[in-house]
Structure 1
Amino acid sequence: MTPMSEMSVLITGGGSGIGEGTARHFARHGARVTICGRREEKLKAVADSIGPACAYVVADITRDADCARIIEAAVAHGGGLDALINNAGNMLRGPIAEMTREALTEVFDSNVVSGMILTGLALPHLSARKGSVVFLGSVHTRRAYPGASPYAATKGAVEVLAKVLAAELGPQGVRVNCVIPGAVSTELNIRAGLVTEDQQRVRMKALESSHALGRIGTEEELAEGIAYMACAEWVTGTSLVVDGGLSLGISNL
């Protein structure tokens, strides 16, 4: 296992949710962490609370110039780059008959294309350090949720992408894997309209019974899985399901 204390890690969407939890986890174990996102107040709050080990970049991963700037900042802060965590993403929910090409293109750009662009830009640095890429998938690829077809499709693409890139980049010493989270109480769920702030506690309580372990996950538990996939030196081209048994299909909702 690559020691986290020796790593430089870039995490997209690091201002909240799983990205924030992952940034805190790596920093707690001595890594130098760079987070990026579009909301400076969120990023600054996370970076300030972590301390000098964490730098932030205000950027939009759907813009090529911003992607290049993100990679440059991470390399400068960490003295290189050991791991790219493609965590940022958008949720699009609704009946397929109401989907527009513009909306579908936007969610695929954010959830799939941007991670590909960032991976390509990071490759020289990752190859130099025999580093890794971790994509964030979703339990939506294991269970069918009506109305979530665009999001599920992007996450399915990400999971296959990790396998193909693992084969492509392995000869350069770069490992590529995917982590499949279960239900975690994150801001994305609220912004996507899955739950309102008032409904979140009730909704998440109901979700607990769908997990074999009887509860939803924490950001720290997801971060542990992400860190393992980033650090395991002989694991590539695979998906790690960290979902408390949600994908087993238990349903009391």
Structure 2
Amino acid sequence: MSSKVFADQVVVVTGGGTGIGRAAALAFAEQGAASVIITGRRAEPLAQAAAEHPALVPVVADVTRPEGAEAVAAAVAERGGQLDVLVHNAGVFAEIPLDDLNADEVRRQLEINVVGPVLLTGRLLPLFTSPGASVVVVSSISSRLAAPGHSVYAASKAAVDSLIRSWAVELAPKGIRVNGVAPGNVETDILGVGGVTPDRISEWREGYAATVPAGRIGGVADITSWITRLAEPASSWVTGEIITVDGGRLLV
């Protein structure tokens, strides 16, 4: 693959300070993107990520709020005013049984996982390069599985899958493609941030690989390679697809 496949392009990656988002942002930069705007609510991880490549531009923004979406739009405007790729990676996971859920927690997960992508995509829509722009949304195989203990997260990802399919049809006349990547369990810091205890994470790490036909837990690179592949011009006839990247977990 050419290192300049995204030459001169402007890319936005939400949740770009850590994990999959950070790795995806670096992959776009290394493949020639002129500017990769990385967003998040915490300044420190964004700054640390931005220090890894001069094309990375940190923007502290809560994209579940209109003012956060405006901040991202302003950053795009400062870099020529046209957007080529938008990656919705920001998300929250929480392992909470139904009898412990409350309305605030339900709203928090839905706002971050669903409302944020809706608001940001709508605000950036006038800025997309047309034709040729691409939206890639990080979903999860949880959208298609029974998910005891994290049912709201799974429901939010099922909503994300529906958005991907609906937007693919709605935005096709504008020359904008919309696709998704649905990872299986990938080792990032989302579990710890979501309140899963270290002992529980260790238990999961030891046991999960045995349930995957490929025999291992996913790595960040397994996902980022598909994010960039779906966004690149060579995939110009691919839209409305949700690529499962789970080592075969859904097959068993």
Give the equivalent residue in structure 1 for 2:109: 107
Give the equivalent residue in structure 2 for 1:212: 213
Structure 1 Cα separation of the partners of residues 147 and 64 of structure 2:
26
Give the equivalent residue in structure 1 for 2:178: 176
Structure 1: 5+ residue runs without aligned partners? none
Structure 2 Cα separation of the partners of residues 18 and 36 of structure 1:
13
- Does the CA contact (< 8 Å) of 1:179 and 1:239 recur in 2? yes
State the 4+ residue runs in structure 1 displaced beyond 3 angstroms: 198-202
- Does the CA contact (< 8 Å) of 2:134 and 2:176 recur in 1? yes
Give the equivalent residue in structure 2 for 1:132: 134
Give the equivalent residue in structure 2 for 1:159: 161
Deviation at 1:141, TM superposition (A): 1.7
Deviation at 1:5, TM superposition (A): 2.4
**Distance change (3 Å), C-alpha of 1:201 and 1:24:** farther
Report the AA paired with residue 241 of structure 1.
T
> Which of 216, 235, 242 is the matching residue for 1:239?
242
| Larger displacement relative to structure 2 (77-86 or 230-239) | 77-86
- Does the CA contact (< 8 Å) of 2:94 and 2:195 recur in 1? no
Structure 2 Cα separation of the partners of residues 89 and 43 of structure 1:
15
Percent identity between matched residues is 38
> Which of 148, 155, 161 is the matching residue for 1:146?
148
Which SS does the other structure have where 1:183 is aligned?
coil
TM-score (norm 1): 0.91
> Which of 27, 30, 34 is the matching residue for 2:29?
27
Which SS does the other structure have where 1:128 is aligned?
coil
1:228 corresponds to 2:251: no
- Does the CA contact (< 8 Å) of 1:179 and 1:241 recur in 2? yes
Deviation track 1:15-41 (CA, whole Å, cap 9, x = no partner) reads 001101101111111112110101111
**Distance change (3 Å), C-alpha of 1:116 and 1:66:** same
Deviation at 1:130, TM superposition (A): 2.5
TM-score (norm 2): 0.92
Structure 2: 5+ residue runs without aligned partners? none
**Distance change (3 Å), C-alpha of 1:59 and 1:175:** same
Structure 1 Cα separation of the partners of residues 159 and 66 of structure 2:
20
- Does the CA contact (< 8 Å) of 1:55 and 1:77 recur in 2? no
Report the AA paired with residue 99 of structure 2.
A
Report the AA paired with residue 150 of structure 1.
V
Structure 1 Cα separation of the partners of residues 141 and 166 of structure 2:
20
Which SS does the other structure have where 1:209 is aligned?
helix
Pairwise mapping of residues 113-124 of structure 1 onto structure 2 (< 5 A)?
113-124=115-126
Deviation at 1:144, TM superposition (A): 1.9
Deviation at 1:65, TM superposition (A): 0.7
Deviation track 1:147-183 (CA, whole Å, cap 9, x = no partner) reads 1110000000000111001111100001111110111
- Does the CA contact (< 8 Å) of 2:93 and 2:153 recur in 1? yes
Structure 2 Cα separation of the partners of residues 237 and 26 of structure 1:
21
Structure 2 Cα separation of the partners of residues 202 and 100 of structure 1:
27
Q: Once superposed, what is the RMSD of the aligned Cα atoms?
A: 1.8
Deviation at 1:59, TM superposition (A): 1.2
Structure 1 Cα separation of the partners of residues 192 and 94 of structure 2:
12
Structure 2 Cα separation of the partners of residues 78 and 53 of structure 1:
14
**Distance change (3 Å), C-alpha of 1:78 and 1:29:** farther
